[in-house]
Amino acid sequence: MPGPATWTYPTAIRFGAGRIDELAEACARAGIARPLFVTDPGLRDLPITRAALDTLEAAGLKPGLFSEVKPNPTDANVAAGLAALRAGGHDGVVAFGGGSALDCGKVVAFMKDQSRPLWDFEDIGDWWTRADPAGIAPVVAVPTTAGTGSEVGRAGVITNLSTRTKKVIFHPGMLPAQVILDPALTVGLPPALTAGTGMDAFAHCLEAYAAPTYHPMAEGIAVEGMRLVQENLVRAYRDGSDLDARGNMLAAAAMGATAFQKGLGAIHALSHPVGALYDTHHGLTNAVFMPYVLDFNREALWDKIDRLSAWLGLEDGFSGFLDFVLRLRRDLGIPHTLDRIGVDSSRFEEMAAMAVVDPTAGGNPRGLTEADALDLYQRAMDGRLG
32 DSSP 8-state letter? -
Do 148 and 219 share a domain, yes or no? no
Q: What is the CATH classification number for the domain harbouring 355?
A: 1.20.1090.10
Confidence of residue 207 (pLDDT cuts 50, 70, 90): very high
- Choose the final residue of a domain: 185, 214, 239: 185
Q: What is the CATH classification number for the domain harbouring 21?
A: 3.40.50.1970
Rg (CA), the chain: 20
* Structure confidence at residue 9 (pLDDT): 77
Do 69 and 166 share a domain, yes or no? yes
Confidence of residue 156 (pLDDT cuts 50, 70, 90): very high
Do 222 and 334 share a domain, yes or no? yes
Do 72 and 38 share a domain, yes or no? yes
* Structure confidence at residue 386 (pLDDT): 80
201 Cα distance to chain centroid:
7
| Strand blocks (E) in 100-202 | 139-143, 155-160, 165-170, 178-181
* Structure confidence at residue 230 (pLDDT): 98
* Domain extent for 208: 188-382
Indicate the pTM of the whole model: 0.94
* Structure confidence at residue 8 (pLDDT): 64
- Give 234-237's long-range contacts (Cβ < 8 A, gap of 24+): 234/328, 234/331, 234/332, 236/146, 236/186, 236/194, 236/198, 237/191, 237/194, 237/195, 237/198, 237/331, 237/332
* Structure confidence at residue 274 (pLDDT): 97
Do 197 and 177 share a domain, yes or no? no
**Separation between Cα atoms, residue 330 and residue 368, nearest integer Å:** 27
Sign of the dihedral through C-alpha 202, 125, 70, 19: positive
**Separation between Cα atoms, residue 142 and residue 94, nearest integer Å:** 7
**Separation between Cα atoms, residue 317 and residue 88, nearest integer Å:** 56
Angle at 331 between CA 330 and CA 334, to 5 degrees: 50
Above pLDDT 70, what percent of the chain?
99
- Choose the final residue of a domain: 185, 215, 233: 185
**Separation between Cα atoms, residue 277 and residue 283, nearest integer Å:** 15
For the chain, the domain total comes to 2
Do 293 and 320 share a domain, yes or no? yes
- Choose the final residue of a domain: 185, 207, 241: 185
Element holding 263 (H helix, E strand): none
Residues 18-41 pLDDT 10s: 999 999 999 999 999 999 999 999
Say how many C-beta atoms besides its own lie within 10 A of residue 308's C-beta: 22
